[in-house]
Structure 1
Amino acid sequence: MNVGTAVCTAEDDRPWLHVRRELFEYGLLPFPSLVHLDGVASLQGRLLSHATDQGRKRVGTSGIAGALCLPEAQAHLVLDTLASVLPDDGIHVDSLSRGAIDNIDSVGADIDDLIVFLYIQNYRKLQPRPHRDAAAVADIWPSNSAFDKFLHSLSPLQMRIARRSVPFQAEEEAHQLTWVQKHLPSILGLLAEFTIDEDNETKVVAAEKFEHLGILFQVHDSNGNSVQLNQAAPFFANSDPHMPAAPVPLYQVLDWILEHICAASEHAFEKGSMKDNGPLYSTGQEVDVTMVDAGSSTTAPSDNTSNGLGQLYRDWSPERVTFVDAVTRASVFKGEADVKGNSLKVSNCHDTSIYVLAPFKYASVFGCSDSIIVLGPVGKALRVEHCERLQLVVPSARISIANCRECVFYLGVNQQPLILGDSHKLQVAPYNTFYPKLETHLAAAGVNPAVNRWDKVLTLGVVDPHDSVSHPAGIADTLAEGATIVHPDRYMTFMIPRFSEEEPEQPLTMSNPFLLPKTYLLAQQQRVTSMENLRKVLKDAPLSESNKRELSNAIHAHFRDWIYASGNVRHLYDPQL
């Protein structure tokens, strides 16, 4: 079958299917034996046998654990991760995507959504091999993500220095698209059923099964407006809900998707000022990407510069995403008026103070070092990867931390923080700040300040011994390090600088809405009492006026020396810029 990619053009009024990047960026789990490409179909029967309601075909944590032979904690993580990446807007929205975090087990997962989700886990998974010679590794599909080979060996500083060779967002999106094209027949096969037509057995896809592809695709018209998946497909559009459309042969559904699928970046290029550089990814032939192909396409991006694609990759930014990228020795502030869309990406920042005070559904912090980052509430999922000496202050429904070192996380988090990969010397503490619109933003994002599981860290991430990345000897047999808890005596409230004189809406948030554990609250109260006592002692000390001035000058001098030596002097000046 010809597996090509349609060419998106702004003048074409057909609907366009784009792969949902959230599924790949926030939905992949580190369980080497979670599922294999050739074993997904056999799971359907086992999941159905564990369904809580056979009519509804839904399964909870215990059912997932039984069907997949997983521990309860990992099975719950599968269910929770699925809940975080299911689409939550539109007409056909599954109840799991909008359920309360502490109630997802009673809601359960639709088995068809779960099956597609499990298949997608193979995007970065490698098939086990008895040996690790180069030929065996290079012959495996699916290939790793275009980013993977750069991430395990480079520090954040090295990644900034070698940035020209690191893949860009558009390249990762192209890799996701190619993988979906390659595996689309198998994914559709999971949703199809057999029917007998003129004595021939044919696979067909019913309308209610077709809806489950909404976890994988989002649909836009030529103007960029969202379209319901069922309404975009001509064979299911405008069907009577009381008399559903007849099932459609699988090959017809497959042909229609392949005709309308394209990269979102490709559509953006066509609508932008560089559309004369030619279409992207329109090969008109079957596309297969091996590990060698993926690696060569990312290590030599200059090969595309002759036709303008290299520049296009770098100038493109996906819609509905706010970026803070490559900031060094500066302060950045963004409020609601400065952000676009429901996703945030902070990347490759060094020696920086970043404040992004707005609600988001998804956020990622990547490759940052020696920085303080304060974020508004993240309602679905937050990922922190490849950071060093970072202080992150954030309220979030979920957070996963991978391959980070010497970082401190001040969290208001509704689910267990997840630590993965090669992480070292991490610390966690309760959320420690507030700003005027915080409670309004918490409600908008759906983060519950009454629930904070900051200290219930779940540590996973056994390094897969069959992956294509070289690891130090023995590391394949070790678990990721956990995190230590910041001692109450070292816990302090973080005061956010005032960047604007504009008065926020009422009511104002006047204190930290997350309840502090008693030991931290007592330590804070004791610190305040000690400061008040010291202030009183200095004020009442029997000193002459000249001695008081000398003492005041000495205190100011020590403070000035500290604020310059620590680099915190920037906090005094940048808010005024």
Structure 2
Amino acid sequence: MQKNLKLSELQNIADKPIYIKRQIFDHSVYPTAPKLSLSNIIQLFQNLNLLSNIDHKISLDHFRENVAKFIPSMNQKDAEIYFLNFKLMVEDDATFVINAVKNNSNSNLQMNLNNPQQSLIIEKQLSADVRGLAKEGLNSQFNEGFRQSSPMSMNFSPLNSPRSKTTRQNQFTSDEEFELHFIKNNLKTILQLIINDPNSENFNLTAQEFNLLSLIFSIPDHNNNQKITLAQYSELYQQSNQRVPFSVIQNYILQQLSLNNDQSISNQLLITGLTKSVMTKDDQSCRNKDIKINSCEDSFIYIDSAIQSVSITNCANTTIFIAGVHKVASISKCENVQISISANFLRIGNTIDSIINYYGSYPPIVFGDCRSITFAPQNANYIEFLERLKQAKIPLMYKSSQNFQNPTILLNNPNINYTLQKPVDFTAFILPNKFLPIHHTLVQTFEQILNPNFQKQLAIIEEKQELKNTNVIIPLIAPNDYREAIINRYKNHNEFQKMIKSQGLTEEEQKHLHSAVQGYFKDWLVTSGQIKPISDLVKLIDQE
């Protein structure tokens, strides 16, 4: 006989803390689309369910068509981004992005149609709009009536940076507190989405339905490495066919839900609060982890590893290098940062005055209050770099080296502006001395690294310790025209040196020439913005 757990029995359940999965908020929340409401989210997925094939899969083309029907404020490119983001959140790897790139088309992509989980992800888009509501009206305005319209304001103040506006908010002291508040105040709506019935009041959930919440909730790791489901961990379900009342589940979650304990989850790494520091992380400490870099200022961070995902938030005046990100890299609420990164999927939101050197399978996605963003090719060069890309399952393709040139502006936001770095201004990324570069003679063109014999040549050179010392650094996966600009710069430098030596200048004339060259060089440093990282490094050296 089936037994339903009663609310009074909840007290007998031992303390079983659960945490919010930060990945959902970090990597899949965008500004709320105009007229996006919970009611048209439900209509969208109910209609998609009717169109799905016998394997309960939906194609990207069908998804685009239905988004246009139920959420007309989103265009086809917006729908594609949501589609890919869903797959990245619910699937273990990003090979579908890679395959789509290789086939030069996304049209044949299909997605398992799990209505509750996917509608939960879209429901989180409403949190971007909710964040601006008054605290006392948060729950009522969100839950009552399922807002029929909520246009995103495009009237951003040019005097306020996204990071400053976030810092000034006193309603929540951190993103984690906001997420906790949002989940708790909208838990009933979330559970209604799980059963695919937004109008139900008194209902029960099966263990299978309860386990769908694993998309947004995580549990502490267990020492025995045995994977257990959310239902097993909670001890709410004693029998396989048991149904637990909504009120019991709601009270359990409200009692046990806590701010994230990052130390309790082994695949997460938190880098936070660095100030005027240099940090280098090797592959052993970071491989396949979800990394969060938060609130770092005036610092240099180098991650030589293939990681699962990365979130970079609230950072200022900071230089960051990340070798390879298998799934999603998200940059949010940053000012004056330079980030050199390779990833299969890159999101940039509410960020200003920054340089993004990018190589990736999909063009970067830009949203929110973004201004003065400069996109440039990925500009790193060191011996292990190509191996890190392979470990992160980021394919070597010439098209991927050019994807920085075609960022997607989500929701056609007219306030977003960006520029593309010109080849003449392109420079190699300065890495610590432990990152030994591949000699420039081996990487004159992108086609050289695609040669099947390239890795063999590299292995021989490593074994013989040859050609490692070089002052000519050519970024490994930059487009050829950007490589040529660097090569020509070195050629001009060498020719200029030869010309000076051939003039037979006196010592006094050499001093005058030296002063003139230094003056022009300083002017270039200032006008190009290259003086900033140099002055920062000098300050760090002085402090040491």
Same fold, TM-score > 0.5, yes or no? yes
1:167 aligns with 2:167: no
The residue type paired with residue 251 of structure 1 is: P
The residue type paired with residue 215 of structure 1 is: L
- CA distance in structure 2 between the aligned counterparts of 1:15 and 1:481, rounded to whole angstroms: 44
1:529 aligns with 2:491: yes
In the alignment, which of 456, 467, 479 is matched to residue 406 of structure 2?
456
The residue type paired with residue 300 of structure 2 is: S
CA deviation map 1:306-353 (0-9, x unaligned): xxxxxxxxxx89764433334344433333355587222333333333
In the alignment, which of 514, 518, 522 is matched to residue 477 of structure 2?
514
Aligned ranges 1:435-474 → 2 under 5 Å: 435-450=382-397, 451-452=400-401, 453-461=403-411
- CA distance in structure 2 between the aligned counterparts of 1:168 and 1:428, rounded to whole angstroms: 29
- Judge conservation of contact 1:457–1:483 (CA < 8 Å) in 2: no
State the partner residue of 1:363.
Answer: 310
SS of alignment partner, residue 374 of structure 1: strand
- CA distance in structure 1 between the aligned counterparts of 2:404 and 2:11, rounded to whole angstroms: 46
CA deviation map 1:388-427 (0-9, x unaligned): 3322211111222222222221111211211112222222
- TM-score, with structure 2 as normaliser: 0.71
- Judge conservation of contact 1:123–1:142 (CA < 8 Å) in 2: no
1:79 aligns with 2:83: yes
- TM-score, with structure 1 as normaliser: 0.67
In the alignment, which of 321, 325, 328 is matched to residue 272 of structure 2?
325
1:228 Cα deviation after fit: 3.5
The residue type paired with residue 175 of structure 1 is: H
Q: 1:82/1:138 Cα in 2 relative to 1: closer, same or farther (>3 Å)?
A: closer
Q: 1:247/1:382 Cα in 2 relative to 1: closer, same or farther (>3 Å)?
A: same
Aligned ranges 1:398-409 → 2 under 5 Å: 398-409=345-356
1:336 aligns with 2:283: yes
Structure 2 residues without counterparts, runs of 5 or longer: 69-73, 101-105, 145-152, 439-454, 463-467
- Judge conservation of contact 1:419–1:480 (CA < 8 Å) in 2: no
The residue type paired with residue 492 of structure 1 is: T
- Judge conservation of contact 1:459–1:480 (CA < 8 Å) in 2: no
Aligned ranges 1:88-237 → 2 under 5 Å: 88=92, 99-103=96-100, 106-112=108-114, 113-126=117-130, 139-141=140-142, 155=161, 158=164, 167-168=173-174, 170-179=176-185, 181-190=187-196, 205=206, 207=208, 212-220=212-220, 223=223, 227-229=227-229, 232=232
CA deviation map 1:136-167 (0-9, x unaligned): 77841269xxxx9xx98854785798699862
1:59 Cα deviation after fit: 0.9
Q: 1:387/1:219 Cα in 2 relative to 1: closer, same or farther (>3 Å)?
A: closer
The residue type paired with residue 44 of structure 1 is: F
SS of alignment partner, residue 370 of structure 1: coil
Q: 1:251/1:366 Cα in 2 relative to 1: closer, same or farther (>3 Å)?
A: same
In the alignment, which of 244, 257, 262 is matched to residue 263 of structure 1?
257
The residue type paired with residue 477 of structure 2 is: F
SS of alignment partner, residue 495 of structure 1: coil
In the alignment, which of 416, 419, 434 is matched to residue 381 of structure 2?
434
CA deviation map 1:226-250 (0-9, x unaligned): 7332772699999xxxxxx975436
SS of alignment partner, residue 84 of structure 2: helix
The residue type paired with residue 459 of structure 1 is: I
1:542 aligns with 2:510: no
- CA distance in structure 2 between the aligned counterparts of 1:257 and 1:47, rounded to whole angstroms: 28
Q: 1:267/1:533 Cα in 2 relative to 1: closer, same or farther (>3 Å)?
A: closer
Q: 1:163/1:123 Cα in 2 relative to 1: closer, same or farther (>3 Å)?
A: closer
1:211 Cα deviation after fit: 5.2
State the partner residue of 1:465.
Answer: none
SS of alignment partner, residue 127 of structure 2: helix
Q: 1:318/1:340 Cα in 2 relative to 1: closer, same or farther (>3 Å)?
A: farther
Q: 1:211/1:57 Cα in 2 relative to 1: closer, same or farther (>3 Å)?
A: farther
- CA distance in structure 2 between the aligned counterparts of 1:237 and 1:98, rounded to whole angstroms: 35
Q: 1:332/1:50 Cα in 2 relative to 1: closer, same or farther (>3 Å)?
A: same
- Judge conservation of contact 1:116–1:190 (CA < 8 Å) in 2: no
1:421 aligns with 2:420: no
- Judge conservation of contact 2:330–2:347 (CA < 8 Å) in 1: yes
Q: 1:117/1:323 Cα in 2 relative to 1: closer, same or farther (>3 Å)?
A: closer
- Judge conservation of contact 2:203–2:245 (CA < 8 Å) in 1: no
1:432 Cα deviation after fit: 1.2
The residue type paired with residue 217 of structure 2 is: F
Q: 1:531/1:224 Cα in 2 relative to 1: closer, same or farther (>3 Å)?
A: farther
RMSD of aligned alpha carbons: 4.9
1:191 Cα deviation after fit: 8.3
1:61 aligns with 2:60: yes
Structure 1 residues without counterparts, runs of 5 or longer: 89-95, 195-200, 239-244, 269-315, 463-477
State the partner residue of 1:492.
Answer: 427
The residue type paired with residue 96 of structure 2 is: G
The residue type paired with residue 536 of structure 1 is: K
In the alignment, which of 322, 329, 350 is matched to residue 375 of structure 1?
322
In the alignment, which of 308, 332, 335 is matched to residue 388 of structure 1?
335
- CA distance in structure 2 between the aligned counterparts of 1:258 and 1:139, rounded to whole angstroms: 19
In the alignment, which of 288, 295, 299 is matched to residue 348 of structure 1?
295
- CA distance in structure 2 between the aligned counterparts of 1:202 and 1:376, rounded to whole angstroms: 48
Aligned residues: 476
1:549 Cα deviation after fit: 6.7
Q: 1:179/1:343 Cα in 2 relative to 1: closer, same or farther (>3 Å)?
A: farther
State the partner residue of 1:281.
Answer: none
- CA distance in structure 2 between the aligned counterparts of 1:447 and 1:3, rounded to whole angstroms: 49
Higher helix fraction (1 or 2)? 2
- Judge conservation of contact 1:416–1:458 (CA < 8 Å) in 2: yes
